[in-house]
Amino acid sequence: MAPRPPSHLSLAVVLALTAAIGPFSLDAYLPAFPAMAESLGVSISDVSLSVSVYIFTMSIGQLIGGPLSDQLGRQKIMFSGLILYSVASLLIWQSEQLESLLAFRALQAFAAGWTLVSVPALVRDRVQGVEAARLFSLIGLIMVVAPGIAPTVGGLLLSLGGWSFIFLFLALYALLVIPLLKLVAFKKTGAAPKGAPGPKVNILRRYAQVLATRQALPFLFWQAASFSVLMIFVTHASFVYQTHFGANEHTFGLLFGANVIVMLIANLTNRSLLERFGSRRILRGATCIQATAIVVLILASVFDAGLYVFLPAMMVSIGMVGAIAPNIQATFIEYFGVNSGTAAALLGASQFGIAGIVSALSSRLPTSVTAVVLAMAACSAVCLCMLVLSLRQERAAV
């Protein structure tokens, strides 16, 4: 008798642990920015450039890894990415100059792109429609813990062995994910696996086929703009909370992790509402709530309302990503029964590539909380424009 396929829960847990490499790579070392700047002999702004390098280079890795996963199979691409990610993390662990750190950070991001791009494709290989949205939401529910605990874990590693220990931890984490994926996501069953090596098709042709699906395109920019809201905050979180509001390393971890509370609530609410309202309606509602919270942030920063007003508004602004991201993924990937890996690559690349550019540009903003919040508001406005565009396309299709 052939082995039974993995349950949705076990698959979601393993894929979430794999996808958690993303937030751990971005958030675990945030409390170490001051220590890294001192150790490398540079400014905190120079160290923050590593965030933009990571996001932008990850998008390139996804653009290449997605079509290759359609052609060569998910397993080869994911495992190759994890091994290369681990090697790059060990090289960062030994870095003593900013230039080498940024170079190895780019290599780490490229490898992470190969790994992460196959996660949504694996979901599409197995389920569709509301079931896909549920699985994405379950992955998000488990994964939402990662950005909450990552700064705390990073702060603990920083106190134990310095900032380089954080990257040693990332190297070991990536290696531990490989056997879990082998046992669950790539467990052999009697059925022929979807996402196995496919026909050899030119990479550019695959992307042309995906881009020809016009109804899906607004969700690319919607995801990128929503993620840019998050990444602007991540890039400037140390300045906002540690410099502007005067929080220490441990308090920073708590303030940063407070966003997880609303992300968790948004994700749980999303799962309970999916059957009744569907992904699209929930997505629109969450986007409007995010935009409203950012308006409150603008008022709080302009009138210097203090942390007790600023923090809840920021929690809602960032927390709504817990409902926005899984519903965009489920809605977008549903358009692609074929080339799902390429479609996932384009979604991830637009998300991380555009957000990386926005994040890099935001590092040149005036050093004020108001400037940071206004940049977040501009990205939220793009989300609202994509909301309107998707509605028009739906009405025109009727």
Q: Which of 55, 57, 56, 78 is nearest to 66 (CA)?
A: 78
In the prediction, which pLDDT does 191 show? 46
In the prediction, which pLDDT does 299 show? 94
Q: Which of 120, 134, 130 is nearest to 336 (CA)?
A: 120
In the prediction, which pLDDT does 199 show? 56
How far the first Cα of the chain sits from its last, in Å, is 47
Which distant-in-sequence residues (6+ apart) come within 8 Å of 144 by Cβ? 260, 263, 264, 267, 322
Question: 3-class secondary structure for 182-227?
Answer: HHCCCCCCCCCCCCCCCCCCCHHHHHHHHHCCHHHHHHHHHHHHHH
Q: Which of 317, 6, 10 is nearest to 139 (CA)?
A: 10
Task: Quickly list DSSP for 338-365.
Answer: SSHHHHHHHHHHHHHHHHHHHHHHHTTS
In the prediction, which pLDDT does 192 show? 41
In the prediction, which pLDDT does 289 show? 96
| Residue for token pair 């790994």 | 115
Per residue in 33-57, pLDDT (tens digit) is 888 988 898 888 788 888 888 888 8
The answer to whether the pTM exceeds 0.85 is no
In the prediction, which pLDDT does 193 show? 47
CA–CA dist 169, 173 (Å, integer):
6
CA–CA dist 213, 218 (Å, integer):
10
Low-confidence residues of the chain, pLDDT below 50? Answer: 1-2, 190-193
Whole-number Cα distances in Å, 320 to 43, 117, 327, 341: 32, 22, 11, 26
User: Please, what are the domains in the chain?
Assistant: 8-188+206-397 (1.20.1250.20)
